Amino acid sequence: MNDPLAQRLALLSRPESARLLAGGLQGVEKESLRVRPDGTLAPTPHPPALGSALTHPSITTDYAEALLEFVTGTHGDADALVGQLRDIHRFVYSELGDELLWNQSMPCPLPPEPDIAIGWYGTSNSGMLKHVYRRGLALRYGKAMQCIAGIHYNFSLAPGVWDALAEPGDTRDAQTRQSEGYIGLIRNFSRFSWLLMYLFGASPALSADFLRGREHGLQSLGEDTLYLPWATSLRMSDLGYQNQAQSGLRPCYTDLDSYLKNLYHAVNQPWPAYERIGTHQNGEWVQLSTHILQIENEYYSSIRPKRVARRGERPLRALQERGVQYVEVRCLDIDPFEPTGISAETCRFLNAFLLLCAIEPSPLLPQGGWCAQSAANFAAVVKEGRKPGLALLRQGESVPLTTWAHDLLDQIGRCAEAIDAVVGGTGHAQAVQAQRAKVDDAEKTPSARVLAGLRETGQSFEAYFLGLGKAHAQALRAEPLSAETRAAFEAARQASVSEQAELEQTQSGDFDAYVQAYHASLSD
């Protein structure tokens, strides 16, 4: 019987290659809004006690000034990964005063748009580039969208995996083989990522003021809360970070070259609505360009191929010259029931899930075929994932979500067992088993637990998540850092401040010329 998954797991389980299953790395980027004790958005600048948002390696801001972003290093162990993320939270809480972290993907009640500050990174050219980019985002999407938060999960396999899986006669060089392997992973992720939204989506409701008069089909849950009864992740629905200009950017990941061409086109193609705005108003920069994308990072997708860029290097140029190094999973909601927003169990499940995506056969996704089906499945689950009897399209045939979910969990479980056989224990297999309970009983999913909490307490969205945030804050503040760990954070803080000061002394040239050179770096 032909079983490609079994064959590839067998290849990776041979004594000479088994170590490869333990050689991958993972990292997390987690966003959290700073809020005042009453649950409203903190109007304060990025706290100086946290260091420079421009240069600190693990504590920065994303779009809004109040949207903190915590960046871990890379780890081969889920407990170590979440442990570092917890340490970052503990340090931040030791410096926040009475402010709190909003541990939910959809934002707290927001002030009027003019009162939402966007990220500020100082007066160096690189700092101003980041700030002006955010000015452009505010024009294109609105400032409220810049307050949505999430978890980004960075994942890589040991480089030798791709060589171990190579077919006899494969003459591709190692870089090409690895890049095409990751692109194949992304295609399978596109097919299967609806499962992540069902299992980990945690934003079925939002504050009523978030939509600010926009049309919507949401229902009311009390006076101040809107929701959809079967939704898993409104953050990843059409209410989230999307717009018309990006609607045509749906690469089906045929190969790395076609993906790069798609984004190269988007960062160089003018968009009429943005041309009408221009790049300057009243003598000030308001956006970096009038193109579909100001820069490649503006492309919003549930997963991205990535390569660590050198200082000053454009991400697209890094991918073009040195290939794909890892993938960034971007569709995960913050888990509001976890103080750090993600658990080690979830990380172990993601590792097994992404291993399946990497080694399961991954045929191409024709633009009018499975690519569209995958997008439709994803959209259905984010809005109706817990609806009894919901069916999805699998290779053109309707299949119950629960049936397909268990089929996938069977395959993910085999990957989990292969990882456990190398690293020891049963942690990955147990993580997969824990997800089966959610498929069997939708009330155990995070999205159902959120709605149950809102209903049982009778609280508004704001009051309920403020209460959870205060409980997390109390727990994290009750765990002081060791003297050694705290000293490391303080050293990083001071080093970041010094680095920003140096940049502001050395990057004092013409900003217009700096932006022009930045854009030209993709075409020279």
Tell me the pLDDT tens digit for each residue of 440-453. 999 999 999 999 99
Please report the pLDDT score of residue 240 as a whole number.
Answer: 65
- Specify the range with the lowest mean pLDDT, choosing from 71-80, 124-133, 310-319: 310-319
Single out the residue of 301, 361, 349 nearest to residue 327, CA to CA.
301
Q: Which tens digit of pLDDT belongs to each residue from 162-172?
A: 999 998 899 99
Please report the pLDDT score of residue 2 as a whole number.
Answer: 79
What gap in Å lies between CA 280 and CA 289, rounded to an integer?
10
Q: Is 241's pLDDT higher than 80?
A: no
Residue 367 binned pLDDT confidence (cut-offs 50, 70, 90): low
| Residues 6+ away with beta carbon under 8 Å from 72 | 27, 28, 29, 58, 81, 84, 85, 88
Q: Which tens digit of pLDDT belongs to each residue from 202-239?
A: 999 999 989 877 888 899 998 899 999 999 999 999 87
pTM recorded for the entire structure: 0.96
- Cβ count near 405 (within 10 Å): 23
314-327 average pLDDT score: 96
122-136 average pLDDT score: 97
The ranges assigned to domains in the chain are 4-14+24-162+173-520
Q: What angle do CA 367, 368, 369 make, to 5 degrees?
A: 95
What gap in Å lies between CA 192 and CA 198, rounded to an integer?
11
Q: What angle do CA 508, 511, 512 make, to 5 degrees?
A: 150
Please report the pLDDT score of residue 165 as a whole number.
Answer: 93
Mean pLDDT, the chain, integer: 94
Tokens of 406: 């268990």
Please report the pLDDT score of residue 449 as a whole number.
Answer: 98
Residue 242 binned pLDDT confidence (cut-offs 50, 70, 90): low
Please give the full DSSP string across 443-498, using - where no structure is assigned: GGSHHHHHHHHHHHH---HHHHHHHHHHHHHHHHHTSPPPHHHHHHHHHHHHHHHH
Amino acid occupying residue 382: V
The fold adopted by the segment(s) 4-14+24-162+173-520 is Creatine Kinase; Chain A, domain 2 (3.30.590)
Q: Is 311's pLDDT higher than 90?
A: no
Residue 370 binned pLDDT confidence (cut-offs 50, 70, 90): low
Single out the residue of 90, 518, 62, 54 nearest to residue 330, CA to CA.
62
379-396 average pLDDT score: 96
CB 338 within 8 A of CB 302: no
138-157 average pLDDT score: 95
Backbone φ, ψ for residue 88 (5° rounding):
-60, -45
304-324 average pLDDT score: 93
CB 419 within 8 A of CB 22: yes
